[in-house]
Amino acid sequence: MIPVLGYEGRKVAVLGLGRSGLATARALEAGGAEALCWDDSVEARERAEGDGFLIHDLHKADAFAGVSCLVVSPGIPHLYPEPNKLIARAWEEGVPVDNDIGLFFRSLGQGDWMEHDTPPRVVAVTGSNGKSTTSALIHHIFEENGRPCQLAGNIGRGVLDIEEPLDGEVIVLELSSYQTDLARALTPDVAVFTNLSPDHLDRHGGMGGYFAAKRRLFAEGGPDRAVIGVDEKEGRYLANQLVEGPEDLRLIRVSSGQKLSGPGWNIFARKGFLSEYRKGKQTASIDLRDMVGLPGAHNHQNACAAYAAARALNLSPRVIEGALRSFKGLPHRSQLVRERNGVRYVNDSKATNVDAAAKALQAFPRIRWIAGGLGKEGGIEALQPHLGSVAKAYLIGFSARDFALQIGDTPYEICETMEVAVAKAAAEAEEGDTVLLAPAAASFDQFPNFEKRGEAFSAEVEKLD
């Protein structure tokens, strides 16, 4: 646990008693604060009270009297589409609003571990797609090379729930826009921006607000090194804002698909090869094509970002390459479930939006595509340019029939359920095909989350004779 420092003997209200909220309350009390806990869910309050936490009704007239800070869980809206009423009340009463990420950075820099011979280093990863894989890959690289490392944030453990860092430890944080948008302190040593595509637009008041939430990780804290994906205009804009000239090596630009040039620090993947250039000279080249855990151009972009973060913390290209080869990928993200009769079955249930699905569809040469679920605004018409490798689509869920009208001339079959889709795709697949689950939709029509959807796919694949 990372005790929250700076609130000794003071009252701090905690709104939202899920995983991060309870971890925050524990960390506050470990640092000497009094945690006043509230959740509008009766069940959540009862669980917290059973764990010994003090329940404090923040709706009461004098609820914020003497409160030094309100700490909010990431799922609670604080601005768009409407501020939560309790957050708006905190504003009115002049009570600062923060989240666990802000408390983490505020406290990490004050802890005894900063007296280690090598103080802990924090790598923070944000972006639209690839955050989890990039974060997990960075963690894997350091662990494979014997460096103590912890993974937390939007993946793994809550940031305040990690172990106190050891000498020389690296802490890798995956941070969503919900987390970066509100944190009052953001001071990573290395900050990574993967890419940007439309997502969570209601929560951020549009694309500009969404990008602004991501940008805060770089603008607020001023990381020692910034790793920026420059395949979209937002990344190029952000990269430009962070440099004082073309030779500024505090910035590492990364790309998948385009060669980057110039006197700065550039890492890119083209035709399956990762290349590193520094001061105009090539310093490393890695063949990514046969790395099972990193299929496709989108994963090559993830590999470039993770490689850049590791290089920023002084690992050599040779040891990074070895770790890339041993990475097996994350569940539900281009995960190879099984190979049967020359057919690969790949679970990319995390591809819940059009951009993520497009990247998955470009990763394999001939695809039996399982798609559908609860479609998002705009549908999937934007995927039509990426369907050239799809032999047939097998459509499931609430939006199956809508999707069928949006995929042009691509052959399809309405299957409704995962069971039927897997069985049909397996029966028709030929040697060399990939049966790919890349839904391009939310899961909530048939499954509680994308993980359960991916597990259902994997279970049906394992049933095949």
Residue 24: pLDDT band (50, 70, 90) is very high
Residue-wise pLDDT tens digits, 260-316:
999 999 999 999 999 999 999 999 999 999 898 898 888 999 999 999 999 999 999
Do 282 and 352 share a domain, yes or no?
no
Check residue 438 and give its pLDDT: 97
Q: What is the model's pLDDT at position 437?
A: 98
Distance of CA 141 to the CA centre of its chain: 17
What does DSSP assign to residue 230?
-
Instruction: Return the pLDDT at 112.
Output: 85
Shared domain check, 458 and 315: no
With a cut of 80, say whether residue 234 has pLDDT above it: yes
pLDDT tens-digit map of 9-18:
999 999 999 9
Residues 63 and 113 in one domain: no
Give me the pLDDT at residue 60, please: 96
- Examine the domain organization and report whether 424 and 295 are in the same domain: no
| 13 CB-near residues (< 8 Å, 6+ apart) | 36, 37, 38, 56, 58, 63, 64, 67, 69, 70, 71, 90, 95
Count of the separate structural domains present in the chain: 3
Confidence class for position 343, pLDDT limits 50, 70, 90: very high
CA quadruple 324, 327, 331, 336: dihedral positive or negative?
Answer: positive
Q: Which two tokens stand for residue 36?
A: 């006043």
CB-CB contact of 231 with 298 (8 Å)? no
Q: How far apart (Å, rounded) are the C-alpha atoms in residues 362 and 343?
A: 17
Q: What is the pLDDT of residue 143?
A: 96
Decide: helix, strand or coil at residue 298. Answer: helix
The CATH number of residue 458's host domain is 3.90.190.20
Check residue 338 and give its pLDDT. Answer: 92
The one-letter amino acid code at 281 reads: K
Question: Crossing angle of helices 296-312/317-326, nearest 10°?
Answer: 140
Give the residue from 261, 296, 326 where a domain finishes: 326
For the ranges 49-53, 88-92, 219-223, which has the lowest average pLDDT? 219-223
Q: For the domain that residue 64 is a member of, what is the CATH number?
A: 3.40.50.720
Please give the average per-residue pLDDT across 362-376, as a whole number: 95
Is the pLDDT reported for residue 354 higher than 80? yes
- pLDDT of 156 over the 80 cut: no
Task: State the chain's mean pLDDT as an integer.
Answer: 95
Domain with 70, as residue range(s), is 11-98
Which CB contacts under 8 angstroms, 24+ apart, belong to 407-413? Answer: 407/380, 407/383, 408/384
Question: Across residues 359-371, what is the average pLDDT?
Answer: 94
Q: Number of C-alpha atoms within 13 angstroms, CB side, residue 356? A: 29
Query: Does the pLDDT of residue 435 top 90, yes or no?
Result: yes
pLDDT grade for 115, boundaries at 50, 70 and 90? confident
Peptide bond before 295: cis, by omega within 30 degrees of 0? no
pLDDT tens for each residue of 416-426: 999 999 999 99
pLDDT class for 97, splitting at 50, 70, 90? very high
How confident is the model over 178-196, as pLDDT tens digits? 999 999 999 999 999 999 9
Which residues fall in the annotated binding site for ATP?
Answer: 127-133
- pTM, 2 dp: 0.85
Does residue 160 sit in the same domain as residue 258? Answer: yes
- Binding-site residues, in ranges, read 127-133
> Do the domain assignments include residue 6?
no
Instruction: Beginning with the edge strand found earlier in the chain, give each strand of the sheet holding 390-396 in spatial order.
Output: 335-340, 343-347, 434-437, 367-372, 390-396, 412-416
